[in-house]
Amino acid sequence: MEIIETIKDQIASNSVLLYMKGSPNAPQCGFSARASQVLMACGEKFAYVDILQHPEIRANLPKYANWPTFPQLWVGGELVGGSDIVIEMFEKGELQPLIKEAVAKTE
């Protein structure tokens, strides 16, 4: 059960957190690549966890989040969604203020 505590701690400790395959500079799937590119375009720092390096997180996060796929974007402790939702929010101009607000609360 301690992996769930690790996940909760990661989410609580990072105002913007992307669970993805690979890293923002070397994504390992197209969905993770697009989600991390959109986040970088928001201009704020964000944390990420490479689920390929952490199989226990990859196995348990979908159950915890009740979200089956990766990437998963968490902002201010809340699950925003996956790649399609993140890109859609960015295109509508909804993601940038959400990210900026979450980061501002922790500064």
Residues flagged as binding site: 21, 29, 58, 70, 83-84
Q: Is the previous residue joined to 24 through a cis bond, with omega within 30 degrees of 0?
A: no
Identify the bridge partners of residue 52 per DSSP, sorted by sequence position.
Answer: none
Binding site feature residues for glutathione: 21, 58, 70, 83-84
Please provide residue 42's backbone torsions phi and psi, each rounded to the nearest 5 degrees.
-75, -20
Residues 6+ apart with CB under 8 A from 86: 34, 35, 38, 39, 71, 73, 80, 95
Binding site feature residues for [2Fe-2S] cluster: 29
